[in-house]
Amino acid sequence: MCADVDVKNSGADQKTIIRYDYAPGEISTLCADSINETQAALDKLATIPKEARTLENTIIAFDQIITDFQERSGVLIFMNYIHSDEKLRDEATKCDEKVGPFGISIFTRKDLYDVFKDLIGRNKNEEKLISEVKLSFEENGLKLSDETLAKVKDLKSQLAVKETQFSSNLNSDTSTVAVEEKELVGVPSEVIARLNKQANEKYLIPAQGPLYMQVMENCSLPETRKKLITASHNIQAEKNVALLEDAILLREKIAALMGFSTWADYRVMRNMSKSGKNVLNFLNDLKLKLKERNKKDIDQLLTFKKELGPSSTEIYPWDIYFLSYQLKKRDFSLDNEVIREYFPAEKVVQGMFDIYEQLLGLKFVPVKNIKVWHTDVRSFEIQDKTTKKLIAYFFTDFYPRDGKYKHAAAFGLIGGRQLGTNYSIPVSSIVANFNAPTAEKPSLLNHDEVETIFHEFGHIMHQTLTRAPYGILAGTSVQHDFVEAPSQMMENWVWQPEILSKISGHYKDTKKKLPQDLVKKMIAAKDFQQGYFFTRQLFLGVLDMTYNTSVGAVDTTAVFKKLYKEITGIEPVENDHFQASFGHLMSGYDAGYYGYLWSLVYADDIFTKFKGKNILNSTVGQKYRKTILEQGNMKDGMNLLHDFLGRAPNNKAFFERLHIAGSN
């Protein structure tokens, strides 16, 4: 993001941290080599005679072999998310389709399990590693009969392929809606200028991403918004609905063979929640608490809609973004297009760096001699502020392009682990899709996008600051319903007046900070429509859990429509297949989407230690770095929280956020 970074991809002084310049066919070859070499290394480990086994040549060697494989294959698969060459992306997808089943095959090997099952560690760290590795084998069926285990292995391999295909379909999607200019009433001219104009004078609106959202928020014609949301909720529907429904059946069969009532019970057994029943209790309790708050928010939108058109009688899905944004503009005088002017991306990122540096004792240094996969990409070193020692590298890849991942995410590419007397250098990347700079303006962010950067960079910190000794327990390899706590906790900073001053500056003159009256209005509006927002999050969590607690074939569309109406109080789009584009269902978050809300309870509790006078307190920040970010999965989430908080965590701050009654 810094202007002085040299983004040329050639030259003698350029070094490669993450390779991207693959020749045709090379990704396929390297992927196969990685699998074959890993297979050979594991075969050798499994044949070590019992009397010759040590912790170093068994469990610690296993961690090294698996981490090596994850890093080698992970970088290849990453190409599917960022590479501009469609053929290479296709190779990366096929690699992913092979890696998934191979990973399953590793943890269904009884010869390996027999090597580890009776090991005893010499210290707490080794005991934790042994315990987690054994659990990984056991959750893949190593206590089953050979016949049943073979069935589980086969079903999991089929499942992995379907999940990869689902995700690949979304990554490659380029759905658009063609409209005439007269259909864009209310859309700012600057937004229209960013749309692709065809020879027939029609404009193409992407069915997802920032331009989609800007049209949905501003277009006063409901017909246009309906077209857009219908297209958005049908992305890859023809292929992905079938893949999802096949996956649900496969999951049911696997769970039954493993001795679990549902896939959800199987998936969460190692999470903080422990069981599907506990998750559903959490969600249902929240549903009751949110019901009245959500109704007030929807009624507020309907009242506003009636002011715009007295004959209006109900709220439709295509109304939500428009009415919320327009009402927010009216009641709080907040206009995203005005707010954007004070959040040029480079200024936001540099301000964020300053904050993280002060809190966590770090230094972020732009690097000029690292090869990057696109001219938009920037590379940085993370150094310890006191010792000046290199800790990690990370990349930022912020702007849309064809074939690129469509949302925002933090990808851990090389993890942390102890290698002899040295500690490895982690590497991560933020991939996002903010408005790209133009000849007239730099990239400008709305406040939601600023919050997104802080969220994803929270993941980057968790991935790169790890000091866990073992790769498979490092960074964000924590319990699944804890992984979003550190990232969601960091969102709180963008709501503090002191911080908004640090990260803002008008794009024409960055010395001009976000005006105080605008800051006050933004903070005052923070609670606006939060009942609906959290109800939607709740709906997504319930939808996910319903799919993954089902028995028998599931009509995912019928389930979606029923739950959407029941929980949000709004009728869904008539031809709605939203589940086909709900990537979390098939990308490792299955029976896990509840984790966003679950971990937010803990994120809000963590923030109580920073809130107020400690917002930039380096002592508190360093404790947070040491007790949570550096630990990885060396301790369970509840223990990490207790170490930082100095007490048992509670949900008081979470329910205060929602202005609803809770329980401790």
Distance CA 603, CA 26 (A): 43
Distance CA 316, CA 42 (A): 56
- Strand, coil or helix: 107: coil
In this structure, are residues 631 and 468 in contact, taking their beta carbons and an 8 Å threshold? yes
Tell which residue, 283, 289, 282, has the closest CA to residue 659: 289
Token pair for 335: 């206009």
Distance CA 345, CA 368 (A): 19
Query: Is residue 123 classed exposed, middle or buried when 0-12, 13-18 and 19+ CB atoms within 10 A define those classes?
Result: exposed
**Pairing label, strands 390-397, 427-431:** parallel
Residue 456 known to be catalytic:
yes
Helix (H) or strand (E) segment spanning residue 382:
strand 378-384
Tell which residue, 386, 365, 385, 368, has the closest CA to residue 377: 368
Distance CA 110, CA 149 (A): 10
Tell which residue, 463, 461, 434, 438, has the closest CA to residue 450: 434
Token pair for 388: 């000046």
Place of tokens 């509006």: 525
Residue 442 falls in which region: left (phi positive, over 0), alpha (psi -120 to 50) or beta: beta
* 409-414 β-sheet, strand order: 362-366, 378-384, 390-397, 427-431, 409-414
CA 584 to chain centre: 9
Given 71, 252, 456, 484, which residue is catalytic? 456
Beta bridge partner(s), residue 15: 370
For residue 591, the one-letter residue type is A
Query: Is residue 11 classed exposed, middle or buried when 0-12, 13-18 and 19+ CB atoms within 10 A define those classes?
Result: exposed
So which residues are the catalytic ones?
456
